[in-house]
Structure 1
């Protein structure tokens, strides 16, 4: 017995990540995944495109889909809390080939996204220091992110906690200022709801406009699935993951729906500033415009700092997610064994170094070979939605297999309440978003643009079919799907730690 315990301890200490994330870390990481430049910047173009009503409909629909996805992920993550999350679920509950494709798809997505985020950080810094070359700021950002991820998972968790808190406080202040502007307490003239009926409002451009905003909303919500990755390093996943998941819906309502409502009420959809919203011009962030409308002159500088925080947070999360996914791929035998090695602090350093190098090379290509960079970014464009598709499909299969094998829902630490409607709706909407990326180019025969837009799809199919034909994998029959929870094999120590 003593020898068995010693072996287990040695095994846990060797090539294993550490469960160092507290409940507050997991909750804030899930929250931070919802809030980024998609809200602070892109929400303006959404209102301009579809009008206030169209933007709200699109974000509510996408928010509902994300909620269903997160409940699906929560059910699987509490049953099998490991790094790698939904890639492992795809392999275990659907087909090993799908797990292979999902894992590499997700790693590639975030490795490229890190490069995009550090490039964006340089653009944001130009607001204060336009004379310094952008690559210097990008290099500094990459070094900071690398160091945070190299220290410990606790360092990552604490950093994300405080950066997410900054974003949350900003949104609360924004909502308060915006509501006071609407009723006339600030900014002089009470706008009321007049902009909701201004000209063609509330719905502008009909269903095609709503569909295009639906796509924008989808990109805004990407990152919420990070809570599944953190399950493998959470001290108490049975408590922290469901708590984070259950709060997702209300966060979406509060942070996105109310924020878009405030922006649409204060600013008419015809405002030219809403059209040009980009991270490189913080002066026309819809948040900045609302603050200025309320009479807060220093809004641009403050919002620039918040947007910089948001970009660094996204890059930090991207580095963490891609590193853990590469580590998981190695553990599952889908990547070289080198990448499953960890330091004494549980950090998978080979995976971290590899991801950092890929991100750095991608960034360098943006300077030395812009066309290569554009293709790399395009190739990662739909990977987030493909990952969501994999989550919904895996959960649909998991629950069906779980029930078919005679289990009861009461055996699960957490279960999605809207099964099977939730995952089915998520699958349909994921396909709709992917197809709706650029249908105009498809129908008009602009095939080069079609390739740029949809290249993620054939790349994932190549990964899936290539592995399937090489390894001769098959769809796992429901009665043969392994639905046993990880925590029953002794590798996960239950904890009641709360913070």
Structure 2
């Protein structure tokens, strides 16, 4: 009888649970067809945000969110996995995919500048459920990554003094970067610009240093392309022969994608940029070519100077000892450089943490504008800061304290698995939105000539980016299949599973339908 009563109560509670879920995410169950409030200001998305960012701020916002541990630490293991040439090709190939995504985003963001733009485009041009799933997983990605960067900052400082607890630095940096994100957007932009400049100067300095070492200035003498000859341009991974070399190359694509993640922040900041019709196209061009040249040059010279079979590349540590830039300095006999690199690595992590809070909070604002989150989240103070969105995003960073216990660290690692391929999911959705955006223009009798910025090679370039983003998404766990591991396989696809659950759940509850482009009153919906 007790079981029967419990079961009956559960069935009766389902409508209530749906109502609670709807209230939590700001959904309107009374209206199955998602509609955007026509009274909202298209340019600011209904939120009283200030247009204080300039084109240079937008560029460095993306650079700050992109160049971080993925390049300074992850590139070492990538070279060990695929070899110097295999890794270089992987980074260039993913760079072309990023170019496709950024030009697609730039075309939409310069014409319809919105805070957290791409979740808005997905809702308005494709399907409200796609915007819902994309926005929430992107927000979760950046908010959890904020916790990761806080933890990484503490571990980096332990390079100098291992006796210090990372809890000290998690607390200090959490307070600092939460406070920075409450500043006026113009101040935030200036701070992020100068912070990101340190990373750019470091990479340029490393390239000059690498040229000198390769020419014979270090203990090894002249190096040239010796390491491309032995141990070779490509490394075998998991299996032997040519198949093993291809497996190594393909497995590095996910690493490269994680490193490039953040380039799309140009679209996040479009809604707070002065004169977005000019600033966004400029930021797209300079950000892409700047990031690509910095990444490719760094990977190229590391591959020249460090043999891919060097055991230090696969240490898996989180401080300067695992950085390939430090390994280059050690092989060259330069003793002071590791401390300098560790300091730069700290600034890289902190700059990325700063971008995490900003991007996460603006995505929350975008979700409220599309009725995918409670409206109160987009409230702003007198200086235009969405203080509730910033507070919620920043609060997730406190998950970093889970690393203080062994069991908590395991849970934290699983949370990070959810964010591993969130970038490819977002890029896929941006490409789909752009294809629909171009069809919306055609359906309303508008030419792409009216756009402030026109993406090149359309629609072929967008199809190219979409195809390979989806392909990498579907195959990113293939190494777990080759050497079967149930836990690794689930970890590889947990973010994709969560995305599908969010999409299907929203569609079932809200009964949404794909947007009929011909029914839109104008190209901007």
Question: Is TM > 0.5 for Structure 1 vs Structure 2?
Answer: yes
1:163 aligns with 2:201: no
Whether contact under 8 Å (1:215, 1:436) holds in the other structure is: no
1:443 positional shift: 5.7
Query: 2:482 & 2:222 partners in 1: Cα distance?
Result: 45
2:48 to 5, 8, 16: 16
Partner of 2:402: 365
Q: 1:483 to 1:278 in 2, by over 3 A?
A: farther
Partner of 1:74: 106
1:202 positional shift: 4.1
Partner of 1:311: 349
Comparing 53-62 with 31-40, greater Cα deviation is found at 31-40
Query: 1:8 & 1:478 partners in 2: Cα distance?
Result: 20
TM-score after normalising by structure 1? 0.91
Q: Pairwise CA RMSD of aligned residues?
A: 2.2
1:482 positional shift: 5.9
Whether contact under 8 Å (1:42, 1:216) holds in the other structure is: yes
* Secondary structure of the corresponding residue to residue 182 of structure 2: helix
TM-score after normalising by structure 2? 0.86
Whether contact under 8 Å (1:93, 1:398) holds in the other structure is: yes
Whether contact under 8 Å (2:254, 2:421) holds in the other structure is: no
Query: 2:365 & 2:40 partners in 1: Cα distance?
Result: 20
Whether contact under 8 Å (1:277, 1:286) holds in the other structure is: no
Query: 1:367 & 1:210 partners in 2: Cα distance?
Result: 35
Partner of 2:518: 479
1:393 to 417, 432, 439: 432
Query: 1:12 & 1:69 partners in 2: Cα distance?
Result: 23
Whether contact under 8 Å (1:93, 1:481) holds in the other structure is: no
Q: 1:444 to 1:410 in 2, by over 3 A?
A: same
Query: 2:265 & 2:46 partners in 1: Cα distance?
Result: 25
Deviations 1:355-378 (A, max 9, x none): 122221x22333353333222222
Query: 1:435 & 1:275 partners in 2: Cα distance?
Result: 26
Comparing 197-206 with 328-337, greater Cα deviation is found at 197-206
Query: 2:315 & 2:370 partners in 1: Cα distance?
Result: 44
Whether contact under 8 Å (2:65, 2:352) holds in the other structure is: yes
Structure 2: 5+ residue stretches without partners: 1-38, 237-243
Partner of 1:381: 420
Partner of 1:247: 286
Whether contact under 8 Å (2:45, 2:115) holds in the other structure is: no
Query: 2:45 & 2:254 partners in 1: Cα distance?
Result: 43
Query: 1:283 & 1:430 partners in 2: Cα distance?
Result: 32
Whether contact under 8 Å (2:67, 2:352) holds in the other structure is: no
Comparing 90-99 with 200-209, greater Cα deviation is found at 200-209
Partner of 1:176: 208
Query: 1:180 & 1:131 partners in 2: Cα distance?
Result: 37
* Secondary structure of the corresponding residue to residue 136 of structure 2: helix
Partner of 2:461: 422
1:88 to 88, 103, 120: 120
Deviations 1:432-481 (A, max 9, x none): 22223222334665333322221111211111111112222111133234
Deviations 1:201-260 (A, max 9, x none): 345432111001111101100011111001011112111211111124422442111111
Query: 2:481 & 2:186 partners in 1: Cα distance?
Result: 47
Query: 1:483 & 1:229 partners in 2: Cα distance?
Result: 23
Partner of 2:169: 137
Structure 1: 5+ residue stretches without partners: 1-6, 487-499
Partner of 2:57: 25
Comparing 468-477 with 85-94, greater Cα deviation is found at 468-477
Whether contact under 8 Å (2:428, 2:469) holds in the other structure is: yes
Query: 1:276 & 1:421 partners in 2: Cα distance?
Result: 41
Q: 1:483 to 1:114 in 2, by over 3 A?
A: farther
Partner of 1:237: 276
Query: 2:76 & 2:496 partners in 1: Cα distance?
Result: 29
1:303 positional shift: 0.5
